[in-house]
Amino acid sequence: MATRMGSDGMDDRQPYEATVNLTAEDFRKYTLYQSKAQLVGLFAFYVCLIVIAVHFGSEDKMNVLFAIPVAVLVAGGLVWYQVWRIGQRVRKIFNGDRVLQLKQKIRLTEEGIHHETGASSLDAKWDEIYKVADSGPSILIYMAKNKAFVLPKRDLADLEVVLDLLKRHVPAPRLKLRR
């Protein structure tokens, strides 16, 4: 939706339209964004588990001090492996799902969002939006806690217009933008 001043000086709000081409990498980054709190918790759990195991398995308290950096390295390696496995699974899911690979058309209007993928479409009013987040490479418009439209920034010709529209229509507590 472009907001421009018309020749009469009045606010002229046009629908903003974009065609989105989701890639396996976009889908991977969205999935990791969704998983980041779990991955941080998993890292902390691994560190605590290793330190506790060393503490109860050793009489020497210096072993516990030595175990902390080792635990951080081991936990980091285990979490890195989890991230790698997530990436592998997500690519497999993406490559096997033709609907995810279809071009998506998004239209943002004063009333809400219109989304088309193939033969299906969805219209949502602004008050039906669960939240909007900026994941870095994409804008995520959530319809529910774990269901979002992924809008890669590279596909948005005028990102500032999109952000302005989102700021006008989505209440601040549900708006998680980086700017």
Q: What is the CATH number of the domain that holds 143?
A: 2.30.29
Residue where a domain stops, chosen among 83, 98, 113? 98
Q: Does residue 89 share a domain with residue 56?
A: yes
Q: Does residue 41 share a domain with residue 70?
A: yes
Residue 123: left (phi > 0), alpha (psi -120 to 50), or beta?
A: beta
Residue where a domain stops, chosen among 51, 83, 98? 98
Q: Does residue 169 share a domain with residue 125?
A: yes
pLDDT of residue 179: 58
Q: How many domains does the chain have?
A: 2
Average pLDDT score over residue span 152-169? 91
Give me the domain span that covers residue 39: 24-98
pLDDT of residue 66: 84
Q: Does residue 67 share a domain with residue 117?
A: no
pLDDT classification of 3: cutoffs 50, 70, 90: very low
What digits encode the pLDDT tens for the residues 93-139? 999 998 888 999 999 998 999 999 888 889 999 999 999 999 999 99
